[in-house]
Amino acid sequence: MSASDQAKTLRDLQQLASNRREEKRAANKPPRVIAVTSGKGGVGKSNVVANLAVEMSRRGRRVLVLDADLGLANVDILLGLAPVGHLGDVVSGNRDIDDIILHGPQDVDVLPAASGMSEITTLSEAQKGRLLVALDRLKSRYDTLLVDTGAGISSNVIFFAGGAHEVVVVVNPEPTALADAYAVIKVLRQRKDIQRFQLLVNSVRQSSAAQVVHERLERVAGRFLDVDIQLLGHVYYDQAVQKAVMGQEPVVLRFPSAPASRCLAQLAQRLDMMEAPDEQEGRFWEQLAEDGVSP
Ligand SMILES: Nc1ncnc2c1ncn2[C@@H]1O[C@H](COP(=O)(O)OP(=O)(O)OP(=O)(O)O)[C@@H](O)[C@H]1O
Ligand SMILES: [Mg+2]
């Protein structure tokens, strides 16, 4: 196939994806929930979320970011936003969810977390219920909900990743990150019966490193956990990311042609073109019923 044929096929596919989005919007489908998680902390989740949000919004999605790292807020900082309230206020019933929504760059909306509130790092059932009821009211306004779950295997991580249509597991090439990713996949498989995961390998020096990490994880997780781990892609180690963090601006906006930015744009495109399996439609919202809470 010639390069121009390939470009045309890609355009046609993008048009198909866009048509499908319009159909979903018209049918009032709930937003697609994409949870970004990791076992190990500091591997780049919040940066991935902030930048994917901007890129997906640029691609025509109506994006809401939920900072579910509830006691250690980060996403608002990375997007240069100043919160007036946080999810802690919503789960405690002190504020309306509409009052805390921040409007970020590229029309990305953000539900910020609290900073330093240890009491909400583990949500009670009642708090989870209140949050889901509040989120339910927002769902017609967005078609994509991107969730930064925070690191580890806490009950909050399991709760937020448990209902997602896509679970993106972020690792870096270090063996500790791989071991912790295995742990989080294992817990999500056993506790929430999640079988499909998207692996994002961050901070690689060369793209082949992502394949190596993917093969390693697949070898053990595929064998012992019966899960399907797809390689979503990689993001290069790039000092532009650190510079952008210092300037509190997503790297894809601050340095759009930096190697990391190009990778992030490509990952957003891949996620954008991926459709949620039908049986997973609305699973996040069904947690309302599962948790015994009526809206
Ligand atoms: N691709 C990259 N290249 C270079 N540095 C990076 C890259 N991705 C992330 N970083 C650096 O790693 C730091 C941590 O990233 P980030 O805060 O997104 O991680 P995290 O997984 O959300 O951490 P936590 O688990 O604490 O929430 C960033 O501030 C940035 O300096
Ligand atoms: Mg983070």
Residue pLDDT, tens place only, 249-279: 999 999 999 999 999 999 999 999 886 555 5
Q: Please state, rounded to an integer, the average pLDDT across all residues of the chain.
A: 88
- Separation between Cα atoms, residue 201 and residue 212, nearest integer Å: 10
Mean pLDDT of 98-108: 97
> Is 171 part of a structural domain of the chain?
yes
What atom of ligand 1 comes closest to residue 237's alpha carbon?
3
Specify the pLDDT at position 176.
93
Task: Reply yes or no on whether the pLDDT at 168 is more than 50.
Answer: yes
Specify the pLDDT at position 8.
78
> Is 51 part of a structural domain of the chain?
yes
Domain match, 204 and 266 both: yes
Mean pLDDT of 7-25: 73
Mean pLDDT of 273-293: 61
What percentage of residues in the chain have a pLDDT greater than 90?
62
- Among all bound ligands, the one having the nearest atom to the CA of 67 is 2
- Look at residues 145, 180, 148, 143 and name the one whose alpha carbon lies nearest to residue 48: 148
Domain match, 120 and 141 both: yes
Whether pTM > 0.75 for this model: the answer is yes
- Give the up-direction half-sphere exposure of residue 39: CA atoms within 13 A in the CB hemisphere: 20
| 33 vs 26, higher pLDDT | 33
Mean pLDDT of 149-153: 86
CA 284 – ligand 1 centroid, Å: 27
Domain match, 22 and 39 both: no
Beta bridge pairs of residue 168: 36, 198
> Is 35 part of a structural domain of the chain?
yes
Domain match, 115 and 230 both: yes
C-alpha pair distances (Å), 145 with each of 92, 200, 203: 22, 18, 24
Domain match, 205 and 284 both: yes
Domain match, 102 and 71 both: yes
Domain match, 80 and 21 both: no
| Contact criterion met (CB below 8 Å) for 276 and 76 | no
Mean pLDDT of 187-216: 96
Domain match, 158 and 19 both: no
Domain match, 83 and 203 both: yes
Specify the pLDDT at position 292.
47
CA 221 – ligand 2 centroid, Å: 24
CB 242 near ligand 1, within 6 Å: yes
SS percent in the chain: helix, strand, coil, step 5 = 55, 15, 30
CA 12 – ligand 2 centroid, Å: 36
Q: How many helices (H) and strands (E) does the chain have?
A: 13, 8
> Is 70 part of a structural domain of the chain?
yes
Domain count, the chain: 2
Task: Reply yes or no on whether the pLDDT at 295 is more than 50.
Answer: no
- Separation between Cα atoms, residue 248 and residue 261, nearest integer Å: 15
Domain match, 2 and 140 both: no
| 158 vs 49, higher pLDDT | 49
Segment holding 150, helix H or strand E = strand 144-151
Domain that holds residue 16: 1-30
Domain match, 174 and 211 both: yes
CA 46 – ligand 1 centroid, Å: 7
| Contact criterion met (CB below 8 Å) for 286 and 139 | no
Domain match, 116 and 258 both: yes
| Contact criterion met (CB below 8 Å) for 165 and 34 | yes
